[in-house]
Structure 1
Amino acid sequence: MENKRDLVIVVVLAIVGLTSGLALQSWLSEPEPLNDSSGRAAPTTQAPATRPDFTLMDTTGKLRNVAEWDGKVMVVNFWATWCPPCRREIPSFIELQNELGPRGLQFVGVAIDDADKVRTFTDKFAFNYPSLHGESDADAVSSRYGNREGVLPYSVVVDRQGNLIYVHRGLLSKDKLLSVVTPLL
């Protein structure tokens, strides 16, 4: 009798755990809703309507301000070296920077990580776009861009006028990103 009860408890806990995991995965991969008529973030999103300003250090030790890339279509990608989905999406970002950079697309990485780890990682993967870093500073910037939960990766598309057009939590596919940025170029 006791073995049956233990088995029932284990099964119930497994079902609750599986359901919770699936719900969390669905929530993390769901993009923020946007107001299609204006291209600005809808009131239900936590992201601001326009690009917040920030200055962080790049991998060479130089302070960089995001306003350097104003007038371009920006993909601001918050990531970390220890984040598996971040590591999976970066190669397609490098490809798209090569392909669409001449048309005005600019990726800007913001690593919420240690400077030495970021430098080693960006050198290894031959980043062709700037990657800024900071631990608590970069996390604060991510929050100002609407990522109050600290989800990584977290990507924001900014149009040439500085409006936040698209916000995505979790792994961002190349096809989805192309569908968002191509009309803006």
Structure 2
Amino acid sequence: MKIYSILSIQLIFTLFFLNMDSSDDFKDLLNQSVKDNKYILQVKPQEAVVINLWATWCGPCIREVKDLNELVEAYEGRNVRFLAFSKESVDDYKTFRKGRPNFKFKYELSFGDVNTVKLLQQLDKNDGVRVIPMHILIDKEGQVIEVLRGASWTNLQKIKSFLETQSGQIKK
């Protein structure tokens, strides 16, 4: 019986996502997905969102955290949310941190929320190969502006440009 419930939830997400058009507010769908998430609060209207899919075993994910943390600091108090989702458990993260006690990811972190991760991965329209890190940029109106695959200087610049259009220039 439990497997039918899981499959039903996945089917609902898939059907809803496939029926979305560009005028739909993706934040509504995201908020439905995270409503029972104990790590992430729902996104408010007029908040821009930068989402990161990552894992502790992903070298490029870990290397880009320093630059991503700088963005969190630069845009503090500017109506922007920085969310990170991992399929891993919080225990996996704690084990990872034991070997790296100085590691700090300043995004709001969510672990083990497989349904939200799957929802976000559906935004990746590339060849079906899943890549992390992946960044999703959602504007204040709830539209998915861009999905960026991998860790790169170019993707970081795209995130910065998005943030500038959503909340003004970076604090000096």
TM-score range, shorter chain: 0.5 to 0.7
Question: Distance between the aligned counterparts of 2:35 and 2:115, measured in 1?
Answer: 8
* 1:130 to partner: Cα distance: 0.8
* Aligned counterpart, 2:75: 100
Question: Distance between the aligned counterparts of 2:81 and 2:105, measured in 1?
Answer: 12
Once the two structures are superposed, residues 35-58 of structure 1 have per-residue CA deviations (whole angstroms, 9 ceiling, x without a partner) of xxxxxxxxxxxx974423222877
SS in 2 for 1:141: helix
Question: Distance between the aligned counterparts of 1:69 and 1:179, measured in 2?
Answer: 22
Q: Indicate the percent of aligned positions where both proteins have the same amino acid.
A: 24
Question: Distance between the aligned counterparts of 1:86 and 1:57, measured in 2?
Answer: 26
Question: Distance between the aligned counterparts of 1:104 and 1:75, measured in 2?
Answer: 11
- Answer whether contact 1:70 1:160 (CA < 8 A) is retained: yes
* Aligned counterpart, 2:107: 129
Question: Distance between the aligned counterparts of 1:130 and 1:149, measured in 2?
Answer: 26
Q: 1:81-92 to 2 correspondence within 5 Å?
A: 81-92=56-67
Q: CA RMSD in A?
A: 2.8
* TM-score in terms of structure 2 length: 0.65
Q: Segments of 4+ in structure 1 off by > 6 A?
A: none
Question: Distance between the aligned counterparts of 2:109 and 2:21, measured in 1?
Answer: 22
Question: Distance between the aligned counterparts of 1:69 and 1:110, measured in 2?
Answer: 18
* 1:68 to partner: Cα distance: 3.1
Once the two structures are superposed, residues 39-93 of structure 1 have per-residue CA deviations (whole angstroms, 9 ceiling, x without a partner) of xxxxxxxx974423222877xxx2535x334421110111111111111111111
Letter in 1 for 2:53: F
Q: 1:1-185 to 2 correspondence within 5 Å?
A: 49=22, 50-51=25-26, 52-53=29-30, 54-55=33-34, 62-65=38-41, 67-121=42-96, 124-134=102-112, 136-146=114-124, 148-173=128-153, 174-185=156-167
Letter in 2 for 1:77: N
- Answer whether contact 2:40 2:108 (CA < 8 A) is retained: no
* 1:103 to partner: Cα distance: 1.6
SS in 2 for 1:131: strand
* 1:163 to partner: Cα distance: 0.6
Between 80-89 and 172-181, report the one with greater CA deviation. 172-181
Gapped regions of structure 2 (runs ≥ 5): 1-19, 168-172
- Answer whether contact 1:57 1:134 (CA < 8 A) is retained: no
Aligned residues: 135
